[in-house]
Amino acid sequence: MFKNIMLTLDLNAKSSWEKALPQAVELIRASGGTLHVMTVVPEMGMPLVEGFFPADYEEKAVAAASKALDRFVNDNVPEEIKVKQHLAFGKIHKKVLAEIKKADCDLVIIGAPIPDRVREFLVGSNADRIVSRSPVSVLVVRA
- Residues 77-91: pLDDT tens digits? 999 999 999 999 999
The whole-angstrom separation of Cα 4 and Cα 36 is 7
**Is residue 32 left, alpha or beta, with left meaning phi > 0 and alpha meaning psi from -120 to 50?**
left
Domain membership flag for residue 79: yes
Is there a domain that residue 83 lies in? yes
Residue 134 belongs to a domain: no
How far is the C-alpha of 10 from the C-alpha of 91, rounded, in Å? 13
> Structural domain tally of the chain?
1
Q: Is residue 136 part of a domain?
A: no
Identify the pLDDT of residue 122: 46
DSSP E strand boundaries for the chain: 4-8, 34-42, 82-90, 107-112, 137-142
CA atoms within 13 A on the CB side of 107: 19
Read off the CATH number of the domain in which 73 is found.
3.40.50.620
Examine residue 2 and state whether it is found in any structural domain, yes or no. no
For each successive 10 residues of the chain (143 residues), what is the average pLDDT? Answer: 95 94 97 97 76 84 97 98 97 96 97 70 72 95 86
Give the residue numbers spanning the domain of 98.
Answer: 10-109
